[in-house]
Amino acid sequence: MIDKIYCVDVQPDMEGKRVKLAGWVYRKREVGKKVFIVLRDSTGIVQAIFKKELSEDAYEKAKKAGIESSVIIEGTVRADPRAPTGVEIQADRIEIVQNVDFFPITKDASEEFLLDVRHLHLHSPKVAAIMKVKATMMQAAREWLLQDGWYEVFPPILVTGAVEGGATLFKLKYFDRTAYLSQSAQLYLEAAIFGLEKVWSLTPSFRAEKSRTRRHLTEFWHLELEAAWMDLWDIMKVEEELVSYMVQRTLELRRSEIETFRKDLTTLKNAVPPFPRVSYDEAIDILQSKGVEIEWGEDMGADEERILTQEFEAPFFVYGYPKGIKAFYMKEDPEDPRKVLAADMLAPEGYGEIIGGSQREDDYNKLVQRILEEGMKPEDYGWYLDLRKYGSVPHSGFGLGLERLVAWVLKLDHVRWATLFPRTPSRLYP
């Protein structure tokens, strides 16, 4: 690796110091016999000025360098309040690693074009900022999970059955058999708790969702936890502590990146336990009182959730959903057989569901009954049912959609901007 420093390292107190940097030409302008290049690297930008009288060779080369050309620049640091970062480099040497005559992304590029050339869009400092925030959120999650005694496990992605309904399975040929891409690692995490008790995984999950909404991808990153001996209320506490730590830690480490996307940090700062909790019944009452046509027993979609989130200035829980709109594995509420012990966490500001979680049915016969009620075949879930035969325990877990969390934190208008190469029904390339 070349002996260089980063843009962020160039400070006014380095006046007179000779430095070498490598990066890409972010901005360029010529004034008289001077060329100003704003160099970009992964840490930020710094301006370099090329004066003909200082080095005619470097000046002539700098004139030729196109936007997003990869370059290595050397020169002397000079404090200058007029420069973008209050300091600039009096450059006397430039190596053009690869010149770019025309970089296809221009200021007026459409969103669809940016997605068509997503592999080039990743040059963008704004895109890099989103990815830094996403990385920091997972760094925070790992910090919290480690200190709270959770084991990371690595479940399979090639599976034989549905977790969240057969309609959104991606099917593939597996030698002479049929396999599917995992919708959720949950069932495998449930097996892992018999040895590790508290487990988590971060995996890609796949949903053949035809719905083209701003919060659905066909491939998304899924942070899932599962714990033995925990009931719904226990796992909700885990969820709010984890999400709170992820948000507050990311605010601490990535505040400048976050502030390039949102000025008002109130709802992020409000993400501290205990998060508000409303029952599904109360949520239906709120929606009906606001004129939404929804009856008890119906699911809340993105529109209903968006309206409900207007009532809150922090992430909040909705719990106690009707059995009919929830998955087969969820435990029936012993106090109301119409309901299941399930809770979603919704993000405010219109973002809605970021977490789906529940207490699982731990009784063998009841689970068989639920599988049959859902029109599925118990024989397709043989190993999963075994978990209820050999030392079954009360247990609960949840899945957090990482892109949805990042979209809320940065107030992105679509989850697709929160992932490196978004996958949607119409987008599989690049």
Q: Could you list the residues that contact ligand NSS (CB under 6 A)?
A: 163-164, 184, 186, 207, 209, 216-217, 220, 222, 224, 353-357, 397-399, 401, 403-404, 415
Nearer to ligand NSS, 333 or 403 (CB): 403
Length of the chain: 430
Question: Pick from ligand NSS, Mg ion, none: which does 216 bind, CB < 5 to 8 A by kind?
Answer: ligand NSS
Kindly list the distances between the CA atom of residue 102 and the CA atoms of 25, 39, 78, 106, 128, in Å, as whole numbers in the listed order: 12, 17, 31, 10, 21
Q: Is 164 exposed, middle or buried (0-12, 13-18, 19+ CB in 10 A)?
A: middle
What residues form DSSP beta bridges with 93? Answer: 74
397 binds Mg ion (CB under 5 A): no
Window contacting Mg ion (CB under 5 A); options: 173-181, 187-195, 351-359, 384-392? 351-359
H/E stretch holding 186 reads helix 186-196
Nearer to ligand NSS, 47 or 184 (CB): 184
* Gyration radius (Cα) of the chain, Å: 26
- Count the site residues for Mg ion by CB under 5 A: 1
Sign of CA dihedral 320, 363, 324, 241: positive
In whole angstroms, the minimum distance from the beta carbon of 410 to ligand NSS comes to 15
Residue nearest to Mg ion (CB): 356
Nearer to Mg ion, 21 or 327 (CB): 327
Binding to Mg ion by CB under 5 A, coded x per residue (else -) over 310-349, reads ----------------------------------------
Nearer to Mg ion, 47 or 184 (CB): 184
In whole angstroms, the minimum distance from the beta carbon of 245 to Mg ion comes to 22
In whole angstroms, the minimum distance from the beta carbon of 213 to ligand NSS comes to 9
Contact between residue 6 and residue 41 where contact means Cβ atoms under 8 Å apart:
yes
Nearest to 321 by CA among 289, 343, 337, 336: 343
The secondary structure of residue 387, as a DSSP letter, is T
Contact between residue 307 and residue 287 where contact means Cβ atoms under 8 Å apart:
yes
H/E stretch holding 127 reads helix 125-147
Question: Pick from Mg ion, ligand NSS, none: which does 341 bind, CB < 5 to 8 A by kind?
Answer: none
Question: Pick from ligand NSS, Mg ion, none: which does 155 bind, CB < 5 to 8 A by kind?
Answer: none
Question: Pick from Mg ion, ligand NSS, none: which does 186 bind, CB < 5 to 8 A by kind?
Answer: ligand NSS
Within positions 159 to 218, which residues make up the interface with Mg ion, using CB under 5 A? Answer: none
Among 23, 356, 357, 422, binds Mg ion (CB under 5 A): 356
The secondary structure of residue 163, as a DSSP letter, is S
Neighbours of 1 (CB within 10 A): 4
Neighbours of 42 (CB within 10 A): 11
Nearer to Mg ion, 148 or 209 (CB): 209
Q: How far is CA 162 from the centre of its chain?
A: 23
Nearer to ligand NSS, 315 or 357 (CB): 357
* Residue tagged 């040929």 (tokens): 173
Nearer to ligand NSS, 19 or 189 (CB): 189
Q: What is the token pair recorded at 90?
A: 């009096």
In whole angstroms, the minimum distance from the beta carbon of 393 to ligand NSS comes to 16
In whole angstroms, the minimum distance from the beta carbon of 321 to ligand NSS comes to 11
Sign of CA dihedral 138, 198, 157, 425: negative
Nearer to Mg ion, 207 or 370 (CB): 207
In whole angstroms, the minimum distance from the beta carbon of 353 to Mg ion comes to 6
Torsions phi, psi for 215 (to 5 deg): -125, 10
In whole angstroms, the minimum distance from the beta carbon of 367 to ligand NSS comes to 15
Residues that bind Mg ion (CB under 5 A): 356
